[in-house]
Amino acid sequence: MNVNLSQLLKPLANKVFARLYFAQTISLLGDALTWVGLALLAFELGGTDAATILATSLTLRVTAFVIFSPYAGVLADRIDRKKILYVTHLARMVIVGLLAFITEVWQIYVLVFLLNVFNGFFTPTYKAVIPQVIKNKDEYAQAISLSSGTYQLLGVLGPGIAGGLAAIIGIREIFFLDAITFITAAILIFTLPGKLIVSGPDDQLLKSDVWSDVKKGTRDLFKDKLIRFALIMEFVAAIAGAQILINTVGHIKGALQLGSIEYGWAMSAFGIGATIAAFSLGILSKKFKQTTFIITGAFLIAFSITPANYVGIFPLIGLWLLAGFGQSYVEIPPQTLIAERIPINQQGKVYGAHFAWSHLWWAIAYPIAGFLGTVYFNENFLLGGVLSLILIFIVYIIFGKKIFSGA
């Protein structure tokens, strides 16, 4: 186990990656502060309309990602990636600081959209930087796994930390602490030696067709058979995952007649499963193909939600733990496939296109989950699971033989 752990942490021996990783970790804590603060602020301003405010905010978040992340990927291939990383942190620092002063709900919507425009520029760029600074291709999977596992871990622990801090220092004051995390991460990135450029000087952007590169990112994403297969399987995982994110609270508080504590247990189990799976990918990636993880994860999350309407809280927690494994096993390998199969000077635009398309899947999956949760309240997970399984079999029939014979 110690050997496996040292293997997972091996990318941190790379000083540039280690600095970027710690900057990302600090900003992820900032993200947790942002969303807990927003939830509390939404209740302060909207009262019983807080759920609608948060749902609208999430929709705006996804919309910003879908619209702007392809352009972020193009920029990441053309200008200094380090500049994108620290500028987006500084911009988010200013925006979260402004959240402390808002007095109207519409102001939340404007600032959330702007915040996620810059988040949409940061994330694809950060993903493209990993294979750029990790020169050893054998360590791509470990580095991506470490970053993704930390993301999932802070997704579990971050809200609890943020909630505790909000109780101590206050709802609006938490946004100032949030701003400090972003400027700290920006300083870590700004002080990196040298630049992170992959092709040409900064003025190359002025001499070329940006829209053509946006389209090229999507073409390259779908042209590669393994990456295309992975992206379509992400749609399956989004259909199942949206059921968990949207309908768990109604099932536990409505059908099972339980409380917020039990809801927290179930969602923590989902996050813990996703975290363990994310870290395990870095250890297991040399033993199994990425496509094996993807198909296993898709079946795992689909099978996990199918019986959920008919079990009690403790079996549900176990199912959500398995579903978390499935979610990570589908969502993380595509990042490694892009790093392995796309030339490094083209990866930014492909990561940007992938970020946009994968979030578009969630934009489709959320309304489906809402419809099933509203119209088929007692069978929503069953129907969502069956739909996911049908999609898996369709994808396998269309792509499966080619993928698993030639991957």
Output the tens digit of pLDDT for each of the chain's 407 residues.
444 556 667 788 888 888 988 998 898 888 888 877 887 787 788 776 766 777 778 788 888 888 888 887 778 777 888 888 999 999 999 999 999 999 888 999 999 999 999 998 888 888 888 878 887 766 777 888 888 888 777 776 777 677 778 778 888 888 999 899 999 999 999 988 777 766 554 444 444 556 676 777 788 888 888 888 999 999 999 999 988 888 887 888 888 888 768 887 888 888 889 889 888 887 777 777 888 899 999 999 999 999 999 999 999 999 999 999 999 999 888 888 888 888 877 777 888 888 888 888 988 888 888 888 888 889 999 999 999 999 998 888 887 666 655 54
- The pTM score is 0.78
What is the rounded CA–CA span in Å between residue 298 and residue 302? Answer: 6
Predicted local distance difference test score (pLDDT) of residue 198: 67
Residue 172 phi, psi (nearest 5): -75, -30
Q: What is the pLDDT of residue 403?
A: 63
| Domains of the chain, first to last | 12-194 (1.20.1250.20), 213-407 (1.20.1250.20)
How far from 117 is each of 38, 207, 221, 248, CA to CA, in Å? 17, 24, 22, 29
Residue 199 is predicted with a pLDDT of 57
C-alpha separations of 394 from 2, 133, 240, 397 in Å: 41, 38, 16, 5
CA distances from 36 to 29, 62, 327 (A): 11, 18, 23
Token pair, residue 354, equals 């992938």
Question: What are the phi and psi torsion angles at 266 (to 5°)?
Answer: -65, -45
